[in-house]
Every structure is written in C-alpha cells, then in structure tokens.
Amino acid sequence: MSVIVLLFFSVILQINGQYPSFPDCQAGVLSSFPICNQSLTSRERAADLINRMTVLEKISQMITTAEGVPRLGLPKYEWWSEALHGLAYSPGVFFGGDLPAASSFPMPINLGATFNMRLIHQIASIISTEARAFNNEGRAGLTFFTPNINIFRDPRWGRGQETPGEDPFLTSQYVYALIQGLQRGDDERYLKIAANCKHFDAYDLENWNGTDRHHFNAIVSDQDLVETYLPPFKSCIQDAQVASIMCSYNSINGIPACAHQFLLETIARESFHLNGFVVSDCNAISDILHTHHYTSTPEQTVAVALRAGTDLECGVFYLFHMNDALHRKLINETDINQALMRTYDVLIRLGWFDPPEQQVYRQLNKNNVDTGEARQLSLVSAQESIVLLKNINGSLPLDFNQLTNKRIALIGPTADATIQMQGIYHGRAPFLVDPLGGFKNITAGKPIGVDYARGCGISSHSERDFAAAVRLAQSSDIVIFFGGIDHTIERESVDRQSIALPDIQLSLIQELEKVTRSPLHVVIMSGSSLDLSYIRDSVGCASLIWMGYPGQSGGLAVASVVFGQYNPAGRLPVTFYPASYVNEVSMFNMQLRPSANSPGRTYKFYTGKAIYEFGYGLSYTTFNYTWDNRTFISAYSIQSVMKQINRQEKTIISSIRINVTNTGSMNGDDVVLAYVTPPNVSSEQIAPFKQLFGFERVHLKVNETKEVCFTFTVETALLVARNASKWLHSGSYRIIIGQQHIGVIQLQGQTIRWV
C-alpha cells in the first residue's frame, strides 16, 4: 500500500477517533468466559471465543480493520500497524497528544550495510518498546506488518531500500536478529509485539514496462526458490518464530501467492513450522480474481485463498464474499474457525485479553519513547551504515586544525534533506538533522564557515541555480556535493528505468570540478545502487560517500564521518552496477544465474564488472589479517562427516580463526566478511562464484588485535541443484576472508544427496 494511502487512512482514523482499546477481562462481558481464563492454553481460550460468534461475526473478524462484537464485549481491532525502521504512518498508528513522534532509525538497506546484528537487535528492541508505549496509549496496534525480507535482486526495484540487501545469508541473519528484538523482551510469557515477514514470496517488482505488481507472474525455478528466495523466510519463520507472514501480490509460476497452497501450507506451515497467521497484502485477494484471473467468481476466490492458508485479509473481499462462498459449500465453517484460531491465538499470546497490572509491557508509556538511548542509537546506527567508497590520498577526514578561517560549501539537492533521509514507510520523527544542520552543529564555535547552495533538483532539467552554486564553490575552500535520489524516483509502486546518476547532477558536478580550489567531495543519498563510475574515476573528485537513507540523525552522522569524529566502516549490501545493466536483463527475469538473456544477478552470479562490489567499503585506518595455516585441516571425509552429524545442516565441519589487527593511526571498526567458493560441479550447473557464509564487525584500537572465528558448516557447503535438491559435493572449497584467499577445505569421498 502506498505511503499516500497510509497517510490518508491514518488521518481518517484519527478524525473518527478509532483508537484501539483492550478487552475487559476483569469486569466486562468477557470476564466470565474461558477466553479470560489464563490457566487454559491460548488455543483453548481462542476456540471458546470463536465458538461464541455467529458466522457473520466471525467473517467480520477476518479483515484487518476488524469490527468489534459488542454483545461479547469484544472491541474492534486494527491489525495493520507499521514499524519498518520505527513506528510509521499506517491505519493503526497515530501520532499526537503525549506521543507526537517516535524514533526514526535508518532504512533497512542502511542497517544491512552495518553488518552488525547486535545493533539490529538493539534497534528492534527500542522499536517494540515504543510500539508498546503507543499501544498502551491507544495509538498503535500490537501487530506490525514488518519486516520486508525479499531479496533485492534488481537495482531498479523501488522497495529495495526496505530490505537489508541482495544476499540471502545477510538477510537471514538480519531478520533473525530483528524478529528477536521485536517479539521477545523482558517477559517470556508474552510476545512483545507480533511481527510479520513479507512478502511471501519472490516479490520484487512494483511497476516496470507496463506490468505492475498486481499483474506480475514471477517465473521462478525451484533452484532459485530454494537457494535465494526462501532462506530469509526460513530464518524468519523456523528460527526466529515470527507470529505472521504476508502473502504477496504477484503470482509465482502461475499461482497467485495468496492462493498458493504449496507455499503457504506445505512450505510455511509444514516445512518451516509457522506458528501464527498469514495475512494478504492489501487487496491481493481481489487480485486473484481481477488481475491474475486465476478464479472465475468471487466465491471461488475466497475459497482458494482461505484453503491455501490466507487467514486474514487486508481489504474487504472476504467481508463481502465469504458468506456466499459458505452458502455455496465452497468452504465450510471449520475453514473459517481455523483461520480465526490462528489470528486470535496471536492476540492471546500478546496479552491482549490479560490484566494490565501483570504485564511488564503494559506499563510502558510516553517516558519510554524518544529516550536518550534511542537518540544515541539513531546516531550510532546511521554512522555505522555510512560507506566510504573513495578517498584519494587521505583527503578525508577534514582536519579542524587546517580549516581555521576557511569556508566549506555544501552544494546539491540533498544537502538540506530532512524527511527524505527517512526513506519510505516512515513516521513522524522527534527531530530531523539534515547534512547542513549536522555540519553547522559540528563546526559551532569554531572559526569555520559553512554555506549552502542547492544548485539543482534531484532530477530536474533546469540549470537556473547552477550559477549561484558555482559562485559559492569559487569562493569556498572546501566543496562537498550532496546528491543522489529520493522517494520521487524509488518507492513503493515505482521502479526505476535508469540506474545512472541523474544527468542534471552529473552536469553540476562537472561544473563544480572546474572551479573548486581543491578536489570535490561527493556524498550520495539513495536506497539502491547507482552508476557512480564518473565520480569513482574522476581526478576532480577526491572522495565519495554513500549515506543511504540514514534517518533522523543522518545529517549529523555524515558530518561526523567527514570530520573524522567517526571512522566509517559500512560495507555495501548490494552490488553497484554500470548503467548499461538495465539494458542487459529484464526486470521480469527472476533467474539469478547468467544466461543468454542475462549477465547474472547479485555478486554471486554477476559476470560483468561492478562499479562497486557487494561488501565494498573503506576506512580511515588499515587492517591486517593473519591466520594459522593449521586452521585448515587438508581434508575431511564426507562419509565420516555424515556419521557424526546425523544430517544436521548446521553441524560444524571446520572452524576458521582469523586475527585482525588495526595497523593504522585511528581507532575504528572492521567488517570481516567470510566467503566460500564451492567446487565446480559441472559445466551445466553454475555454482556461485562466491557466497557469504559469515561476517563479524569488530572495533579495534590502534595496534589492537582481535580474533574472529567463522564456522564452516554442512549448510555452508551444500549446493542446490536445478531440481532444488541439496548436495554435499566432494571437492575443494576455497575460503576468502575479505578479499584475501585464506585456504582450502577439501571434502573427499562420494558426493551425497542431502535432501
């Protein structure tokens, strides 16, 4: 659902005063029913409540804006709240009164760039705390349609910024840490909030070349599904035990996702053990009939969606047509009861029916929102996400001692970015520090001037402001260009046609290069990759920073990096492709591996030369890796491994220990990335060129050394065949730490089919 629609719903609901409330299990009608008996299991409690409803009352509970059942003392409930990177505008979230704002953290694409899962957990914990505080004040629900964990397979996708990046392993680690922080807290009896992993599955197209997400049929091979598109959902559902998932708009191999029984029942529930409910994306049930033409009547549509496992609808199709489907015996009341059992079981696990005095989370209030800890974390997370891409001759950081009585010019369309720094699915932030404000904050009280000129718009064609920007550059000692893109170019419902830096910005950069007293510094804001080859290669550009969409403290974070108050260590969570990439592969092509129609996707399979590779990022200091060659035992027997591990994928084959030393002159973080290059199985089946299997972010003082350990597991070694079967192959597995070839793990014996 678009942000505009979200804002509309939020405003309407606030005007109408439709704030959530709690059932009264102490003195209300419900108090004498088993739903209020905490000695019963959650399913027993839910079953009794459901059995007391009439059919029409049951149906009214199967849409996200669920009406109450007054005769039972059941209040209305809005299932749709948002909290992608902080509480966000949505039908269930209202800002105002004692809670005018909530912490706005960097977008998930930034959080992926931190490669810091402890940080992700901390952020999620604060978001869930603020969510509970809002809920207790009647300003949010308890069920949040977050996170988006689809793989960012194509740089044109408008919603890639909502994800942590292109790699299944990184995304899987991210979602586990995030769900733990969102759902688990100080009271193990209750879910803190209920999260929702979306969009299940293979959803990563908005509107491209005349086909939108409502009509798109994603043709996905079993190999790509198992190897790339499913792993984050497995981590979310099976490992993190998320409370719900959302089925997507698109069809998958001809079957709409919300009618896809194999995906929802066989995979999500039977294989991954989903303990919760499935909700449709908004109006996706209607799409089954009207855009995918998978069914012929509304009643058939209800039946295929409900029996596939879609329990709750974002929309009203169920409300209007479910009773007719029941009368025509396409479904039965047991199907309805099963769906309601899953949704109400989650509400019970959230403590919605239990007395507030016995719940830690019900005591949270406005004092737990926008705390000092949250403000500090918003800054730290933005700093950790910033990626230094170029730094010729150590031109950064700027030295205060050399800037006395100097003037710094900030020029460009994102130098004064505020709300744009929040990306999409944002809420009302307590404050927004733009880059200009950040620079003025850091230079306050110092004899350094900071001036600003816009120069041009994000993607306009007008050069009318060039002259003022050029004059400012001529009179300044340091010039920093702030450019990139924003939600006018990439957002929900909008995919890009071009991944080049907008022409107007490139023209302005070239004009500035002609007049600056020293080489230009460039800072790029975006939630996806851009062809930055000109800036990378130009001698007129001394440095290049990617800031992503860094949230409420983004401007201060960037300034702190430029002035060396923070040593950057972010790493790109996506591949930065050349602009020509969009002409080489269709967005409709879901295949990851290279073919006659594609140069391949993501760092694992891209055959071209990237502008900047996944995992790339510089620091103001230097690091050295050393290791003991004895870490690598030359060979392991596959048969011996099989005997020891009893077919457990996560069983360790080998441990890899690396010593990391800060050999430079500044304290800083290093992100240590561990890749494996598997053996070539056959010329017909292309194995990943390399794939991430471990990462660790470590802080090191000057001359300090720390040991980082990675485990090489069976799961790391398994290769997925074309038919989606997994194999443990014999052969050499090359281990690469960062860009360094560390060693080889040799598996010997007969290749074994795992599953």
Q: Which residues are catalytic?
A: 281
Q: Return d(Cα 465, Cα 459) in angstroms, integer.
A: 13
Residue 453 structure tokens: 């000129």
Nearest Cα to 361, choosing from 689, 102, 661, 140?
A: 140
Torsions phi, psi of 187, nearest 5? Answer: -125, 100
H or E, element range at 338: helix 333-349
Nearest Cα to 484, choosing from 502, 511, 472?
A: 502
Cα radius of gyration rounded to whole Å, the chain: 27
Collect all residues with Cβ–Cβ distance below 8 Å to 154 and sequence separation of at least 6: 160, 204, 205, 585, 587, 601
Question: Per-residue b/e over 76-92, b at no fewer than 16 CB within 10 Å?
Answer: bbbbbbbbbbbbbbbbb
Residue type, 118: R
Q: Return d(Cα 321, Cα 323) in angstroms, integer.
A: 6
Nearest Cα to 671, choosing from 114, 73, 278?
A: 114
Nearest Cα to 135, choosing from 386, 399, 347, 416?
A: 347
Cα of 158 vs its chain's centroid, Å: 13
Q: Return d(Cα 113, Cα 548) in angstroms, integer.
A: 9
Going by DSSP bridges, is the β-strand pair 478-484/740-748 parallel, antiparallel, or unpaired?
unpaired
Q: Return d(Cα 191, Cα 715) in angstroms, integer.
A: 30
Write out 211-265 in H/E/C secondary structure: EECCCCEECCCHHHHHHHHCHHHHHHHHHCCCCEEEECCCEECCEEHHHCHHHHH
Q: Do residues 216 and 170 lie in contact, with contact meaning Cβ atoms separated by under 8 Å? A: no
H or E, element range at 45: helix 42-51
Q: Return d(Cα 422, Cα 429) in angstroms, integer.
A: 9
Question: Could you count the other beta carbons within 10 Å of the beta carbon of residue 747?
Answer: 22
- Identify any residues that bridge with 340 across adjacent strands, giving them in sequence order: none
**Could you tell me how many residues make up the chain?**
755
Q: Return d(Cα 483, Cα 573) in angstroms, integer.
A: 20
H or E, element range at 706: strand 705-713
Please enumerate, as own/partner, the contacts of 322-331 that have beta carbons within 8 Å and a separation of 24 or more: 322/59, 322/62, 323/55, 323/56, 323/59, 324/298, 324/299, 325/298, 325/299, 325/300, 326/55, 328/299, 330/299, 330/300, 330/302, 330/303, 331/302, 331/303, 331/306, 331/307
Q: Return d(Cα 272, Cα 244) in angstroms, integer.
A: 12
Q: Do residues 194 and 346 lie in contact, with contact meaning Cβ atoms separated by under 8 Å? A: yes
